[in-house]
Amino acid sequence: MAAHYTFEGYSGTSNTSKSDNPYDALIEASNNDPHQLQTRYQTHRTTRNGQQKAKLLAPDFPGVTVDEILKNLEDPAQPDYEDWRNCLVLWARPPTAIRSLILKIQERLLKAAPNLWLMPPSNLHMTALEITHSQTPSSIPPLLSQLQPFLPALASYTLTHRARLVKPALSFDAQALALSFLPAAGEPGRISPENENDAYSYHHLRRDLFARLREAGVEVGSRYVVPSAHLTVGRFVREGGFEVGELVAAVEEINGWLEREVWGAEGGEWVVGEERGLDVRSGTLWYGGGRREVIGEGF
């Protein structure tokens, strides 16, 4: 298996799978059981947040990592600045309820970090699969041409393969903040006849998308395969202007509020593909832009 498909250690999963599909390892390690799979995702999220909190609050923490490309793009004095990183991806777009939830979270984050860059609502996305990234513009059209016959079916795959995400919580590091979800495991909500008991998870969806692309003859060049379902909600584009400790405290307060008031409520549940199917996107899309190639049918 290629080195860039190696698992991070946060979920407690070692890759012993013989499958050439990197998403099979976690499914096999979880015995294809929704509860075990959710636990692996939760372990990854909790462990990573704990490590990042210790790093950010350490006495020798050098400060947040400014996204220099985004900083330059946002600089009015550099109107001609361009992001050089061209990508090809499959995005899951959050439905109205999740976008509304994120707006509330962003408002709370701004109180602790007023100069935080916030992902615009129309740009919010979760990368279901990254096909390739950081390429020159000329690298993308040949891939698109190869994939063209398969794109409509890929984009609408969620119409018949419905995966629920639940229990949103903020994740963070020195570069950005994201809202992450866990694959559902029988929680009350909109369990569909197509996916009784949540046997088909977001991780299964990612596995299937990877398999379909391989069948199309495309080598998938994702940067990572980790048990995480997240949308970036904010990035750091300036140093200073806030206290890191206050921001960490705000994140923990928001996560407490989410667990108390949002978990188990309809506003915290996301069935991937509702309202819109998958968004096949190309170009300079790191911050939610780029060019739409195909949008799948929603339900």
Q: Among residues of the chain, what percentage have pLDDT more than 90? A: 85
Cα separation, 194 vs 19, whole angstroms: 26
* pLDDT for position 196: 77
CA distances from 69 to 64, 94, 142, 178, 238 (A): 15, 25, 26, 19, 12
As a whole number, mean pLDDT of residues 142-153 equals 95
- Nearest C-alpha neighbor of 271 from the set 220, 219, 195: 195
Q: pLDDT grade, residue 5 (50/70/90)?
A: very low
Phi-psi region for residue 70, left (φ > 0), alpha (ψ -120 to 50) or beta?
alpha
Return the CATH class of domain 3-295: alpha beta
Q: What is the pLDDT of residues 166-212, one digit of tens each?
A: 999 999 999 999 999 999 999 988 877 777 789 999 999 999 999 99
* pLDDT for position 3: 33
Q: What is the pLDDT of residues 59-86, one digit of tens each?
A: 999 999 999 999 999 999 999 999 999 9
Contact 23, 224 (CB under 8 A): no
Cα separation, 95 vs 267, whole angstroms: 10
> Would you tell me the crossing angle of helices 244-257 and 96-112 to the nearest 10 degrees?
150
* Domain edges within the chain: 3-295
Cα separation, 28 vs 16, whole angstroms: 9
Cα separation, 75 vs 67, whole angstroms: 12
